Structure 1
């Protein structure tokens, strides 16, 4: 997780939180959070990076729609990150 950008960590977190995460659903969530449009040229290469790092798996729902599922490793990395953040933030929040 330490080698991911903040945007990639956000992609991973959103993918884990959606019921059936596909590119446009992930994009819509991040558009709201970032309060600006996330362009496809930024979204999909970063999703591919997460696939290459075995944090998510890319599958097909149909010929036009890819589905991104967080792997066991990805969930473990998210949990480890949450624990790491908690040791610094729990006392102030």
Structure 2
């Protein structure tokens, strides 16, 4: 996950946290967090990147809607990242 941008990492985290996430649902969640509009030209190429890296699988819900699911590798990467982060920030919250 070290080679992902912060935006790509956020895409992965949101995809992991939503039930049957599709592009617009992921976009909506990130817009709430970032408090700015996320353009399709930014969203979908970055989703494709995390798909290409094997962190997320892309499937079809219907002819117009893609579903994204985090792969086993993606879950492992999230877990590894959380362990790495915790060594630096856990003390702040104790």
Give the Cα–Cα distance (whole angstroms) in 1 for the partners of residues 28 and 75 of structure 2: 22
- Give the aligned partner of residue 20 of structure 1: 20
5+ long unaligned stretches in structure 1: none
Deviation at residue 58 of structure 1 after TM alignment? 0.3
With structure 2 as the length reference, what TM-score do the two structures score? 0.98
- 1:19 deviation in Å? 0.4
Could you list the runs of 4 or more consecutive aligned residues of structure 1 that deviate by over 6 angstroms after TM superposition?
Answer: none
Using the size of structure 1 for normalisation, the TM-score is 0.99
Aligned length: 93
- Consecutive unaligned residues in structure 2, runs of 5 or more: none
Deviation at 1:88, TM superposition (A): 0.3
Which residues in structure 2 correspond to 1:35-46 (within 5 Å)?
Answer: 35-46=35-46
CA RMSD after TM alignment: 0.4
Q: Provide the C-alpha distance between the structure 2 equivalents of 1:31 and 1:50, rounded to a whole number of angstroms.
A: 19
